[in-house]
Structures are given as C-alpha cells and as structure tokens.
Structure 1
C-alpha cells in the first residue's frame, strides 16, 4: 500500500486535471455515450489525419476495426512532433493527447484550414479510452507512447496488445520511446485505442455502414485522398460477417462526383461548379510570448466551392461542409447560399416572365430548392462553431462572401451564350416557375378541401363516395379500379367509416411527367384533392382527410401495375402519408374453394396464392372433404359479390392489409426511378436479367 501511495505524485494531478472534466461530463464533448458518441471519437481521430491531407502532407488513410473492439487509424502525414514543447516541457505527442485546447491548429501556422479546430479531439478520445497507443514515424525512427485513461505509461503486453494488460504509469520522465526504425523519407502516425467501457454504454459499437458513408463523403471532399476501411470483427449482419472485409475510396473529381453520387432523379441541368473566394477582418484574442492576452484584428480568407444540379424531383438534398467537417444544421454559409440562390433565380424569372408565363406571383425559397442536389463547402482558418460537435457554422462574415460568389457565378451560368448553357438555363427557369405554380395550386386545394359540414357546399369530385365520420383516425379511403369494382364495393363498404374513389384504369406515370402535367391530369388531381393535404413540398399531413389510404386493385398484372402507378404518385407527391404508415394495399383473394356440405350450406375457403391453393386442396382432400369443381379464379374485384368482397377484403375483422413502408428512402428512390423513370435502358436490362426468375403462370395472357 505504501508503495502505491509513493508512486502517486503531484505530476499525475497536473496531467489528469483537464481530462478528468472530460471523463465526468463526456456528453459536453462528444454529444452522448452511446454509439453516436463512440463514432464521434473516431471522427476526431480520422479528421486529424484528413487535416494532414488537406495541407498536402498525406495521401493515404487506413482505418482498421479490430476483432477485440479497438480501432486503429493510420496516415502517411508528417507525424505528430516528438520533440519537447518549450512551454510545458512535454513532448509534442503528450501535449496533443493530454492537454485540452492544444495542437497545431491555432493561429494558422501549421494548418491553413482544418477540421479539428478546438484542440480537444485527440485529448478527449484519450481521456475516454481504456487504452490508447500512438506510433509516429519521423526522422528515420519509430516512436511509441501509450496512455491508460489519459495517463502516460507502459503496458506489459504479451504476444499482442490488450486493454487489460498490466500498466505502469510514468513517475518521473515521460517521453516517446524509440521502438524501431522507419524507412528513409517515411513519415506518418498510427493511433490505436480501446474505448473505455466505464464511459460508453454496453451496446455502443462502431457502425460499419456509417463509417463507410462518412469515409466515402470525405473522399469526395478531398480529391485524390485514398481512404481504406478494414473490418475484422465478423459481426453478424455486416459485410464482414464471414471474414475480414476491405473497402477503398478515392474520388479525383471532388464534389462534382459527390453531387452525381447523391442525385437520384433525372437531370434538368448538368452539375454546375461555383467557386470563388473572399476576405474579411476578424477581431480575435491573441496570446503574446509573455502569456498576456490582447485583441487583434486579423485578415482572414475564405474559399468557396459549390457543386449543384437540379433534377426533375422536388426533394432537396443539400450537404454543407466547413473544412471537410459536415454541418448538418447549416450555418452562415448555407444561409448565404440560399439567399443568393433565391435572389438570382428571382431575377432570372422576372427577366423572362412573359415567356415563362410567370404572372405576378413571387418565387419563394421552396420553389428554388425543389429538386436541388448541392454540396456547399467553405474553407477558412479558425471558423467559429456552435459547440464542439461543430454542427452549425457561426462565423457571420462567411454569409456575405458565399452570397457574392453564388450570385456572380450563377448569374454567369444563367446568362451564358452557348447553346447548351442557354437550354439548361431555360429548363431550370421553367422548373422553378412550375414549382411556384404547383405550390400556389396546392395551397388553393388545401384551403378549399377541408372536410365540409352539412351546411357547407363541397367541391370534392362527384365520383367520390365519402364516408360520414368526421374522425380522421377511423376514416378509410379505398381507391378502387374501375366502375365494376366500385359497384360491388359500394354495397360491401361500411359507409360510416369507408369512402370510395374510383379511378379509370392506369393513371399518369408521375415519375417521368412534369409537375404541371401531373396537376392537369384528372385522376391525379382528383386524388390529391380528395386526400386534401396538398402535394409536394407543401404537403401537410395534419390536413389529410383520411387516416388510411387503401389501394384496392385486381389481383392480376394490370392491378399490380395500377398499384405501382398509385404508389409512385404517393411516393413522389404525398410521401409523408407513406412515411407515417398510412398507405395500404388491399389483399383480395385469388381463388374460392367451395366445400360441399351434405344437409348444410356449402362452405367457402379463400386462398391468396397458387401455393396456398394447392396446400389447402391437399388438406381438404386428405380430410375426405368433397370439393365442387371448377374452383373459381377471381380475375377482378368485380367478379365478387358484395358479401364476399366485404368478408375478404374490406371488413376490418377479416381482411388483410399490407402496409406500405419506406425503410430506406434512397433505395426506394432508386427503385422508383429504375422501374418508373424516363430512362429505358436500365429498366430493359433489369427486365431481361430477371426474366429467368419469372413465374409464367402469374401472367394473364
């Protein structure tokens, strides 16, 4: 006991003083102690390596997820300094990993622009790690230093490093140890750490998919940088489940390729690149050689690089970055971008108002952002963020710089004289005006299509058979195919809660039609009018008149096609209904088996697939039941009696409904674009490649 006490001296207190605050309040530094916080720690280490690449000192970064739960990050940058920092008397490695607000990113000496800005990333990760090892290649030597929960020392490792290996803290002098030789001219840093289980929740883990997305994103933002991920954990449900998996990313085209990767809809314009720079004066505190602080005006430069394109859809996909750090909640750079975008396109519409038939209505921000995919990046030294998690840029001068660059560059694009540029500018302005008109039309629909009471007149379509209830949660709208099905469904429904809207055959394929074409189509307009919540960006799910939308089409190929067209309309223009799980597909039976009962009414058994039909027939015959031939095969809903339709398809007590969900919006977007879009070649390839798997018996011919 006495030996332990003598080994604990004042020097340890000075090392742990700042890091103890991190361990006591980790949420202040990494947001949370679950998987999100664990991933944030990894981003801090990776971003330090990326900063070396931004400065032109690194070309390769490698991330390894080890089977023992640790993670390792390699880079071929300059390597963390190992010499003594004069103020503290500690090596550069120890300063970086044990001192908060320390590093080479203050004052702009070592890094013109960087992702790690507050000097706390590496030290916070060290404080929250059970063990951290760092190796540095510099000057022909390999140096190593280890830490246990922020304290430097040595681990007595056996054949491989372990977090629970015996640890001996340094008591007098701490400095990186030379553990090998590095090849001449080779430099770099390797960091491996084990997250502290006392800090993070038991279910916290590194998410491979999230890591891949972030690394891919970084490869777009730093052209030419090669990033590799290796997963050795063999986690069930991951790509490396059956063995180590490796993925490498390198994109020399930068954010132009990033926009191409993000965009999923058909193009209205090519990817346009808007670049420029500006300068501003910032008053900041500066610490002189004597340690005194004074305010000083510094001249700052800000580089702006934006890639954007408009597509035929109405969703906006805007990604913003400051020195490769994602700012998901925006900031001054995004504000300046959107303001300049609106101002420039308003001018363009006003200058061509007569040709575009824009009228006196004003273009709004939502009209301009509809269908936009954009990546907005700015680089500047020491940007001001709101909090360590860096989700919002706060440097006010950036707004005006970005706005000037966008206004100048975009105006040049819109006023270009080449035939290709003029055609794209014309298509863009037509799209903006079309979005403006659809927004106004949707607002008018929403204002007039509230549920009417008995004393009000209704402008709903005459073919709608509405229900009586005013309770949206209980109400259901059945969209039925054709008048014959409507006639049967009219008698089968519960008129208190179930409304019917017939459609005539196959509606417009809205995936490759314009907004104006969609609104002018009678069937689409009627459906949007009946739902009563608007369309597109102005859709308000709180105003929807029905709690459930049920697509009730025939159980054949044509019915499936009509259902797909309807789902395309909902996905494209009323997506919140799908996202909230309020769109369903009815499941009508395919067959009716009539079981003969002597002295009793015959019994009817319904089946919903060929496999189920054969199984039930086998069961009935094995039981000695007599079956009336032929077995009825329903070609359409109109072939059913009202009682049969109610029992099998409409009565909540007996029916089966399939809820339509969007588990992965981007994958769903790609699927809709493949199957319903205007590009024929990929769809033809999909049909040909899947033809061998088709059950020919399912085709009605």
Structure 2
C-alpha cells in the first residue's frame, strides 16, 4: 500500500488488530500448530454457540488443498445491517473490532464459549486472506479481508491470498454475490493463515480436529459435525452425531469395564456478580447482576485404576480445570468419605481415611457447566475462574450423589456396594504398596536375602547398566546362567504362564507368586505407587521360547507391565529378546571351518538355503529347529540372544496408551464377544502351514 492510499480510515480499522499481529501469543497461546488450531476453534465455536442457542443443527469444516480452511453453518448468519455506534456493517464489526459481538449481555447468547468478542477478529488479523459469506434476508452477502483490512481481491487467476488486493478507501462495501431462498440463513468463513505469523511447520492436525468435532457432537446432542480433509490425493470424510449427550461421552471415554452405570448429577444455582456494563451513552458503569449456573455431570466407575476427567464450560474444554472442577473434586471426596465411614464395619475399612486417589481410581467423569459470561484465565480459556461456580457445583454433587448412594433401589444398592468395596480396596492397596515401597530399595550383593531365592542377581550396583532377564522355565535358566554376563545381567525364572491380570483383581495379582516375585525383584512398587526412579534394573528383557506358547507368555507379562508398571514401558525400558528359530551349518570345502547361520523366520531360512544352494555349497541335515531356549548350548544362547555385541532386542513401546489399552482389553479382557469376532475375522488370513504342531 503506497502512502497516498493510506488514510485515517485504515488506521482506525487496524489499530486494534495490529496489537494482535505484534503479540499473537497473548490471544492464541503460540504460533505453532497449537495456535493454528486455536484459531480454527475460535471460528468453529462461533457456529457452535449458535447451535447451543437453538439455531442450526450442522457444521461443516473443510481443509482445502491450498492450506486454507472453511467453516460452514446454517445458523442465523452474522448480522449484515449497520451497527449504529460505528457506522459499519455487522460483518465488519465482528471481523475487525476487538471485544465486539453479541455475547456481552445483549441477550443473544444465554451461554456461550466465545464471550471475549475477539475470536473472529483475531483470526482475521492473523490471516493472509479471509473470506466471509452470509446467507440472510434472501441474499448472499460477502466481504474480503487481507490481514484484517477490508477490501477486494482480483481473482482473475483463481482465488488465492496472492491475488491483487485493493483496500476500501472511503467506505466499506458489503457485496451481494447471490440469492437464497426465503428463510435460508447461515455463515461461511474461509481463511488462509498468515505465513508471516505462524511457524513454517505449523499445520492443521486432522486427528485433533476429529477429536474436537466428536467431543462437540457429544456435548451438543443433535448437532452434526462434518469434516472434509481435501489436502491429500483421497478426500477424507468423517461425521459425528450423538443423541446421548455426556452420558454417551463418558461411556466413550471409559477405558475399562463398568462397575457402575453412568450416573447423571444435575442441578443449578444462582449467584450475583458485579460487572461493568456499557451504557447507551458509551460509558461503563458497575452493575450487580443475577446469574444462573446449570451443572450437568456424567460419572461412572470401572474395574481399572486410571482416571479420565474432562471438564467444560459452555462446551469449551478447560483442560487445566478451574473452579467447577475444584468444586466437584472437593464434594466428591467429602461424600464418599461420609459413605465409607457410615459403612465402615461392613466394609472393614478400619480407621484409615480414604484419599482422593482411592476415589478417582477407575473413574470416568465429564463435568459441564453453563453460565453467562464466565471468567476465564486468558483468551485460551483453559481455566475457569468464576469463584461462585465452585460452591454451586459442590452443592449439586453433594445432593445428587448422596441421593444416588443412599438410594433404596436394588440396582443402585448393588452398584453402591461394589463402588465402596472398590474404593476401600484401593485404599488398602495404596497403604500396602506404600509400605512395600518404603522397604524395597536397591540391594547390594550382601543384602539380597529378602529377595526371591530363585533370583540370580548380578554383581553391579549400577542401575543404568544392569539388565533383568525374565526367563521362561528352569531348563532355560540353567543355560542362561552359563550364557549371561554375571557382572550386569540378572535372571528371574517364571514357571509357565503367569496370571492374566487383565481379568484378575489387584489382590489376586499381588497374591500370585510369579507376579509378586516380578514386582518384588524390580523393587519399584505397582499401580499408582510405582516409582520408576527406584527400579533396581535399567532394562527388563522378556526371554521366552520362539513359539506360540512363548508369545502367549510374553503377552501375559506385557499385560502385567502395562497394567501395573506402565512407566517402565513409557520410559522404553522393557524389551523382548529375539531368539533364533533355526541353526544352519554350511559346510565349506577343504580345511576351511564350517559356517553357522542363525535364522529367525521361515522366510529367512528359505532365503538362506536358496543362497547356499546357489553358491554351490552344502549344509548339514537335518537343520536344527529350536523348540525352546533350553535346547541351545550356552555359547549359542549368548551369541544369539544375550551378548550385547551380537543380540537383537525388540523395544516395547506405548506410543498411544489409549489404543494399546483397547488392544489389551480385546485380547486379555473379560468380554469374550469382541475377542471371538476378532479371531473369526482374522481366521481367513491364517495358513495351516503356519500352525506349529
């Protein structure tokens, strides 16, 4: 823009938005992918607020191949008439003026997430180009912006942020670009994020977008969220629509089998708040207003010990909690403690007090509150700050949960009994595990008397350099003793297949000899009390036979580690040894010594034999097929499986704990139906030749 084209009008439009461009982190948190996604949420949330108010039942999000993103709704449409104070159209006010909109007590929105009035204007300021179209009054109205400034683009070469741009010089023009049927309304926003603002690697995250769309569909029953990702060769489409609300959401989030049904705790409360109100003369005056806060909570407990908690204010996620979450936690603990004390003799709880972790074990909860003009800590809205909400949520939880826990209905009484038994069991396990952890520390060579007698420990006290091999069977132990490096390699034999801990209770697991030995030898506790820093070995290596039974034993061990010692896996300290399946002795002519080749799969064996035949050499027959580790000589086991210089280890990773947990539940859980379907579905891919008989 030349100096002759620059006028006071441009200054008035950009003075607020320039602050956004200079300090974007104040408004969107960061300028990487997280900030880019936050901009998209701002636009989507405007459409969701319309749906919350009963206008529109569908929202479409389109990720275009040219790096732009488009959001459609069929709500009321942004106002197109002139706003009297500024003399600008409603579209221009919403997209160019900070702290402007319909969410400041005007009555347009009883409960909204985007109440700061900066969302659309911030996105506009941080966009190289933004296009908005509004269907309203039988017409389609349109306006274009470049980095927050309204004007027109010459798209003769196609729609692009690089198209020649002419800013409005005297007054803005809201273009009429089409007609729509009477009663048809809605808004379409398409924008290109500004490469001057966002880091080069920033991009829209498809999975995060899908999760947010699914979450919104749960929180607004009846709303359809449709996503179309056109950035790749094949367009990816997904739609989300749920009628069950947050009860269905809690069931979706729950990682374990249910102990209780999903309970709904609902209620509301009133509070007063003193807020500045804009008067008709443009001045601000403090005024005391009456507020109403509606609370809706879905909660259930399962057999596991992980806690899943998500909280929302007017469907805006608050991942860092706030006053609503604090009120819930405080009241929940108080109510449960009262019930445990009232049933202390029946539950055999003794004088020990239930703690927060005991109550939260296996709990899945979705907390939602709706109130006008909530106070968030910052524009990113991650923490609710309205003080009065804490007491309202606490009162609702206390009343509704006490009523449920003291209900005389048969189903409620049965579920309450199971829940209180689980909480008391968690309390006892916590106390027992704490005592166990306090007494279990890294022992030196003179202090191994309290460890299992069958442990063959190493001499080194260097945890980072030490390795614990969990060996299948006593026969393999004998060979492994001769094959190991006794300085830093310890051996713990297990007898056959250990307990399936996915189906067993915590107490059954602790009473199982093999499971208890593994936990005792590692010395870091189990479950919530597991302390990675005091684990006695740097690596845990599962060494089982290279057959189906060996794979089953390895799976059972991994289930134990995943459920009760997960930090070891997350830290990358659990490995599976890779023993060979075959030993091929290739005979060389003359006095040249024979060559020994180990193979690990049938395919690799066939390839080696073909190579030997092609070279004109012969191999000894029969080829040795290892049925178990005990069939190996110590030298062979060391060379192939235990010696750091030659062995291969397969690191066990948990890249996505939620996905891994679902696989463990499918393969090892109580529900037989899904496992049967999984086996039947995969049976067609199984060759009879692969069955080891």
TM-score category of the 2 structures, normalised to the smaller one? over 0.9
In structure 1, the partner of 2:514 is 523
Counterparts of 2:621 and 2:447, CA distance in 1 = 54
Q: Give matches, 1:131-530, under 5 Å.
A: 131-158=129-156, 160-234=158-232, 241-242=233-234, 244-453=235-444, 456=447, 458-530=449-521
Secondary structure in structure 2 of the residue aligned to 1:395: coil
**1:677 Cα shift?**
0.3
Q: Match for 2:9 among 11, 14, 18? A: 11
**1:354 Cα shift?**
2.0
Q: Match for 1:629 among 621, 625, 628? A: 621
Q: Match for 2:639 among 632, 647, 655? A: 647
Counterparts of 2:37 and 2:686, CA distance in 1 = 43
Counterparts of 1:677 and 1:155, CA distance in 2 = 60
**1:479 Cα shift?**
0.3
Q: Match for 2:115 among 117, 135, 138? A: 117
In structure 2, the partner of 1:672 is 664
Counterparts of 2:189 and 2:608, CA distance in 1 = 63
**RMSD between superposed Cα atoms in Å:** 1.6
Secondary structure in structure 1 of the residue aligned to 2:541: strand
Moved more, 119-128 or 640-649: 640-649
Counterparts of 1:675 and 1:453, CA distance in 2 = 39
Counterparts of 1:696 and 1:551, CA distance in 2 = 28
The answer to whether the 8 A contact 2:445-2:459 is kept is no
Q: Match for 2:42 among 32, 41, 44? A: 44
Q: Match for 2:561 among 561, 564, 570? A: 570
Moved more, 192-201 or 281-290: 281-290
Distance 1:404 1:143, change over 3 A: same
**1:699 Cα shift?**
3.1
Counterparts of 2:289 and 2:242, CA distance in 1 = 35
Counterparts of 2:395 and 2:515, CA distance in 1 = 41
The answer to whether the 8 A contact 2:522-2:535 is kept is yes
Counterparts of 2:100 and 2:43, CA distance in 1 = 15
The answer to whether the 8 A contact 2:157-2:163 is kept is no
Secondary structure in structure 2 of the residue aligned to 1:495: coil
Secondary structure in structure 2 of the residue aligned to 1:6: coil
The answer to whether the 8 A contact 1:90-1:175 is kept is no
The answer to whether the 8 A contact 2:472-2:495 is kept is yes
Normalising by structure 2, report the TM-score. 0.97
Deviations for 1:494-548, whole angstroms, at most 9, x for unmatched residues? 1111111111111111111111111111111111111111111221111111110
Q: Match for 1:612 among 600, 604, 607? A: 604
Counterparts of 1:457 and 1:161, CA distance in 2 = 75
Counterparts of 1:595 and 1:141, CA distance in 2 = 84
In structure 2, the partner of 1:89 is 87
**1:291 Cα shift?**
3.0
**1:174 Cα shift?**
1.2
- Check if 1:533 corresponds to 2:521: no
The answer to whether the 8 A contact 1:30-1:389 is kept is yes
**1:45 Cα shift?**
0.2
Counterparts of 1:210 and 1:7, CA distance in 2 = 42
In structure 1, the partner of 2:548 is 557
**1:180 Cα shift?**
2.1
Count of residues paired in the alignment: 692
**1:646 Cα shift?**
1.0
In structure 2, the partner of 1:78 is 76
The answer to whether the 8 A contact 1:156-1:165 is kept is yes
Secondary structure in structure 1 of the residue aligned to 2:465: coil
**1:453 Cα shift?**
3.6
List runs of 5+ in structure 2 lacking aligned partners.
none
In structure 1, the partner of 2:630 is 638
List runs of 5+ in structure 1 lacking aligned partners.
235-240
Counterparts of 1:600 and 1:358, CA distance in 2 = 75
**1:95 Cα shift?**
0.9
- Check if 1:603 corresponds to 2:595: yes
Normalising by structure 1, report the TM-score. 0.96
Secondary structure in structure 1 of the residue aligned to 2:56: coil
Secondary structure in structure 2 of the residue aligned to 1:291: coil
The answer to whether the 8 A contact 1:449-1:459 is kept is no
**1:601 Cα shift?**
5.1
Distance 1:355 1:697, change over 3 A: farther
Deviations for 1:261-293, whole angstroms, at most 9, x for unmatched residues? 112311111111111111112222223223333
In structure 2, the partner of 1:66 is 64
**1:454 Cα shift?**
5.4
Distance 1:207 1:457, change over 3 A: closer
Deviations for 1:70-98, whole angstroms, at most 9, x for unmatched residues? 11111111111111212212111111111
The answer to whether the 8 A contact 1:452-1:458 is kept is no
**1:160 Cα shift?**
4.3
The answer to whether the 8 A contact 1:438-1:519 is kept is no
Deviations for 1:396-442, whole angstroms, at most 9, x for unmatched residues? 21111111111211111111112111111111111111211221222
Counterparts of 1:601 and 1:455, CA distance in 2 = 46
**1:697 Cα shift?**
3.7
Secondary structure in structure 2 of the residue aligned to 1:93: helix
Deviations for 1:631-678, whole angstroms, at most 9, x for unmatched residues? 111111111111111111111111100000112211111111000000
Secondary structure in structure 1 of the residue aligned to 2:464: coil
**1:476 Cα shift?**
0.6
Secondary structure in structure 1 of the residue aligned to 2:457: coil
In structure 2, the partner of 1:237 is none
Counterparts of 1:519 and 1:282, CA distance in 2 = 53
Counterparts of 2:448 and 2:655, CA distance in 1 = 40
Deviations for 1:299-345, whole angstroms, at most 9, x for unmatched residues? 11111111111111111111111111111111111111111221111
Secondary structure in structure 2 of the residue aligned to 1:274: strand
Counterparts of 2:327 and 2:643, CA distance in 1 = 55
